[in-house]
Amino acid sequence: MTPPLKPDPAASGTFSIGGDISVHRLGFGAMRITGEGVWGEPKDPEAAKRLLRRVVELGINLIDTADSYGPEVSERLIAEALHPYPKDLLIATKGGLTRPGPGEWVPVGRPEYLRQCVEMSLRRLKVDRIDLWQLHRIDPKVPAEESLGALKELRDAGKIRHIGLSEVTVAEIEQARKVVPIASVQNLYNIADRKFDGVVTYCEENALGFIPWFPIGAGDLAKPGSVLSAAAQRHGVTLGQLALAWLLQRSPVVLPIPGTSSIAHLEENTAACSLRLSETEWRTIEESVK
C-alpha cells in the first residue's frame, strides 16, 4: 500500500504557459466558491476566502476562474482574499458566456462584449493585465475571426498576456492560431471521458497547455469492483486522487484544475500530485474504459 500522501503541488511538475509563465501543473478551479448552480454568493463568503488563502499556502500557483462564475462572484472573492497577489501566482480567467439564470450558460462572442468582459475582469481582479484570458466558448453566431481579432487587439494593448480557448476541436485551434497566438486549451476531459484525446496530443505537439475541466469525473469506473476502484483500494487512495494522478501522467502539458469548497478536499486533491502507479497499472485502467 502507498504511504499516506502529503499535499505537494511541486510534485506535479511544472509547465510554462505561453513559454514564459511557469506554474505547478496541478492548479485550482474556482467555480465552486460561488452559490448553488454557480449562481450568487456562497453560503459562507469568509470560508470561501479561507479556502483561497489555503490554495496559495499549499503552493498552488494556478487559479482558474471566469467572469460567469457567480456571475462576477468568483473573481471578486479571489481579489478580496488574495490581492495583492504573490508574484508567482497566475490567475487565469474566462469570458464570453452570459448567465441569464442559475444553470444557464449562453455564448456571446461579439467583439464589443468581449472587450467589456476583459475590462470588467481587470477591474474585479484588481490587475492591469490578465496573464491568461480564455474565450469560454466560440459563439456560433459570430465569425471566430471577429471574436479573436478583438482579443488580439486587447493583447496588443497589453491588457492580456496570453490567450486560451475552451471546448474546441483541433481544427478550431488551428483556425484561431492564424489570427492570434494561443497558449492553452480548456476542454472537458477525464479518465472516463477521453473524446478530446486528439486535442491533448495536438497541445503536446505544439507546447500548448491543456486544462481539463471536470477532471475528477470517473463515470462507471467509480463503481465498486471496477478496475479503478480496485486500484484505489490497493494504494489506499481515493478515486478522485487516482483520476487526478492519471491526468498528470497522461501528458506533461496537462494542467488539472480540480475545484472544491472544502479545505479538506482541497488538500486531498493536492496530495494526488505525489501518487505514482506503474505503466502497467495505468494501461490496465485505461483499457477498462470502453
Give the whole-angstrom CA distance, residue 119 versus residue 195.
Answer: 34
What are the residues facing 95 on neighbouring strands?
A: 135
Is the preceding omega at residue 212 within 30 degrees of 0, hence cis?
no
| Set 69, 85, 113, 202: catalytic member | 69
User: How far, in Å, CA of 212 to CA of 83, rounded?
Assistant: 26
| Annotation says 85 is catalytic | no
Contact 67, 75 (CB under 8 A): yes
Gap between the Cα atoms of 264 and 261, Å rounded: 9
**Alpha carbon distances (Å) from 49 to 34, 222, 263:** 11, 31, 11
Q: Which of 200, 252, 197, 260 is nearest to 63 (CA)?
A: 260
Catalytic residues: 69
